[in-house]
Amino acid sequence: MDTQLKKGLLELCVMARLLRSESYGYQIIKDLTEWIEISESTLYPILRRLEAGGEVEVYSAEYHNRIRKYYKITDKGRERLREFNEEQWKLQKILNYIEGQEEGKCAAF
C-alpha cells in the first residue's frame, strides 16, 4: 500500500480507536492489528503528530507502580473523523473507478 495513503489511514484508525475509549500505546497496537498492520515504531510518531496537531491529548497515570501514558481524542480529532465520515463516499468512488466499477473503466486486472 502507498506509504502516504497508509499514513493517513493509520491516523484515522488511531483516532477512531481512541473515540471508543482512552488507551495506551500497546493496547492501541493490539486493538488495531486485526484491521491494519501497525508497529510501535509507526504508532508513536503518529501519536506525537496527532498530539502536536491538537487531535489527541496525552496524560500519565500510575499502573502497577509504573507510569503509563494514556491518549484521548480531542474535539478537534472528533471533528476530523466526522469530516472523513462525511466525505468517505469520495474515497469509495475512487476505489470503484480503480476496480472498473464506474463509467470509463480504469483497468482490467
Q: For each of the domains in the chain, give its residue range(s) and CATH number, in order of start.
A: 3-98 (1.10.10.10)
Q: State pLDDT tens for residues 48-98.
A: 999 999 999 999 999 999 999 999 999 999 999 999 999 888 888 888 888
Q: What does the DSSP assignment read for 20-59?
A: H--B-HHHHHHHHTTTS---HHHHHHHHHHHHHTTSEEEE
Q: State pLDDT tens for residues 34-62.
A: 988 899 999 999 999 999 999 999 999 99
Instruction: Categorize the per-residue pLDDT at 33 as very low, low, confident or very high, splitting at 50, 70 and 90.
Output: very high
Nearest CA to 16 out of 91, 87, 73 is that of: 73
Contact 65, 87 (CB under 8 A): no
